[in-house]
Amino acid sequence: MFRLFRVRGRSMLPTLSDGDFVVARRLDSTARRSLQAGRVVCVEHRHLGPIIKRIRKIEAEQCELVSDGQLGAESEAMGSVHLQRLTHAACFAITPRGFKRVNLAVSDRL
């Protein structure tokens, strides 16, 4: 049910740094429907492969993703992603400085 991932890259700074570990919960169809904007999720992207991003917007069965930092792909480049492509929801991160929450309220800048 829970799985550990390693973050590779800096597009999710300042929330997640390169090399951080993320503990994430597997999503079933019920859990996917309860997701909200602002949540950090693991995505099996059709073209970009396995990525970790924040949900910017959910409409029907599609969601838009966004990077927290300025170094990531633009939302337009990632395109609209079907909810079924969201595999896990991040719960917290394990960083060299300790545990860190990743789903703090940042919706004001999404």
Residue 8 or 33 with smaller CB distance to other proteins = 8
The DSSP output letter for 72 is S
The CA distance from 33 to 39, in Å, is 12
The answer to whether residues 58 and 83 touch, using CB atoms and an 8 Å cutoff, is yes
In the stretch 63-92, what mask flags binding to other proteins with x, by CB under 8 A?
----x--xxxxx-xxxxx------------
Start-to-end CA distance of the chain, whole Å, equals: 28
Burial (CB count within 10 angstroms: exposed 0-12, middle 13-18, buried 19+), residue 6: exposed
Residue 37 or 100 with smaller CB distance to other proteins = 100
In the stretch 7-46, what mask flags binding to other proteins with x, by CB under 8 A?
xxxxxx---x-xxxxx-------------------x---x
Quote the least distance from Cβ 48 to other proteins, whole Å: 7
Residue 19 or 84 with smaller CB distance to other proteins = 19
Instruction: Output the furthest CA–CA distance in the chain (Å, rounded).
Output: 38
Interface with other proteins (CB under 8 A): 3-12, 16, 18-22, 42, 46-53, 67, 70-74, 76-80, 94-96, 98-99
